[in-house]
């Protein structure tokens, strides 16, 4: 088999970073350069890659974070950006990189990832098991707030991005049942690349709300604040009289809301490798804004 060079920790190496971005664009339609240029690519994100003639040909990325599970923090690695150039497939390169990652971070409580339908048979070979997520939603009848001071932020403006990052770095944990911490850089990826026009700051609550409205449904993607805020108070300020359903893209604290629950279906499946026999909640949704 041809000999390839293993590389990691190369974000400041411009030729390798450019090659990585080219492969990510070809594979997923994602370019990490703007995330890097804004300073959000830190040591928490570590690509493990093989090169051929200084070109990235295969990659498995490590996202270092903590999970909050039933009010306890657990060390975790979320694996993402698993990709191999079409000309270099069927050589076991992704397997070798996965083996390196699992060995290097063998001390964490959990490994996990989100896999698409084409690779569902790959990850169980490494001890990963599929775990079903739950979609939380609720019926809603709008009660207007007396006072609304909402400032729309722009995910393309450096000053707004810096404001969001500082808020996220000290955020109150949105859920004690299941959530993530130390993931502000992942949140910034979503603010830059996905929700740049869906960012709203509520002055009174000092809270960033990321949401979209689709007909009569309000999709709540994240709620970022330094102190605990009441979800119903937030909804009264961002919804309107046409909204009759709220869909949560994270795990809300159940004691606040009358929630409906159903299996979550998307184009990816959550796989978990549980190193320390952590007991996962029976019903949870991984926060979308910290999904790699």
Q: Using alpha carbons, select from 21, 37, 289, 36 the residue that is nearest to residue 164.
A: 289
pLDDT tens for the 292 residues of the chain, in order: 578 999 999 999 999 999 999 999 999 999 999 999 999 999 999 999 999 999 999 999 999 999 999 999 999 999 999 999 999 999 999 999 999 999 999 999 999 999 998 888 999 999 999 999 999 999 999 888 777 899 999 999 999 999 999 999 999 999 999 999 999 999 999 999 999 999 999 999 999 999 999 999 999 999 999 999 999 999 999 999 999 999 999 999 867 789 999 999 999 999 999 999 999 999 999 999 999 9
Q: Mark 191-202 as b/e (b = at least 16 C-beta within 10 Å).
A: bbeebbebbbbb
What does pTM read for this prediction?
A: 0.95
CA 161 vs. chain centroid, Å, equals 17
Reduced to 3 states (helix: H, G, I; strand: E, B; else coil), residue 37 is helix
With 0-12 / 13-18 / 19 or more C-beta atoms within 10 angstroms meaning exposed / middle / buried, residue 188 is buried
Reduced to 3 states (helix: H, G, I; strand: E, B; else coil), residue 16 is helix
Number of Cβ within 10 Å of residue 284's Cβ equals 22
Give CA separation, 142 vs 57, 146, 243, 245, in Å: 52, 13, 7, 10
Q: Give residue 26's region: left, alpha or beta (phi > 0; psi -120 to 50).
A: alpha
């Amino acid at each position: 088999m041809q000999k390839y060079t293993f590389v990691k920790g190369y974000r400041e190496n411009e030729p390798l970073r450019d090659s990585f971005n080219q492969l990510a664009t070809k594979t997923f339609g994602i370019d990490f350069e703007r995330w890097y240029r804004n300073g959000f690519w830190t040591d928490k994100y570590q690509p493990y890659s093989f090169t051929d003639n200084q070109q990235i040909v295969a990659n498995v990325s490590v996202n270092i974070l903590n999970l909050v599970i039933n009010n306890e923090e657990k060390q975790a690695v979320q694996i993402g950006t698993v990709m191999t150039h079409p000309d270099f497939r069927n050589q076991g390169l992704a397997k070798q990189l996965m083996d390196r990652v699992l060995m290097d971070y063998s001390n964490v409580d959990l490994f996990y990832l989100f896999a698409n339908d084409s690779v569902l048979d790959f990850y169980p070979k490494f001890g990963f098991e599929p775990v079903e997520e739950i979609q939380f939603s609720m019926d809603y009848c709008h009660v207007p707030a007396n006072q609304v001071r909402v400032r729309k932020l722009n995910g393309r403006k450096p000053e707004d991005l810096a404001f969001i990052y500082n808020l996220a770095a000290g955020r109150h944990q949105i859920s004690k049942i299941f959530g993530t911490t130390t993931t502000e850089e992942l949140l910034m990826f979503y603010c830059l690349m996905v929700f740049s026009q869906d960012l709203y700051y509520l002055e009174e609550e000092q809270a960033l709300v990321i949401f979209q409205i689709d007909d009569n449904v309000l999709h709540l993607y994240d709620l970022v604040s330094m102190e605990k805020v009441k979800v119903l108070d937030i909804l009264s300020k961002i919804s309107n009289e046409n909204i009759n359903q709220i869909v949560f893209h994270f795990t809300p604290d159940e004691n606040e809301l009358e929630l409906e629950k159903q299996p979550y279906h998307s184009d990816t499946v959550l796989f978990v490798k549980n190193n320390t026999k952590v007991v996962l909640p029976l019903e949870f949704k991984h926060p979308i804004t910290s999904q790699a």
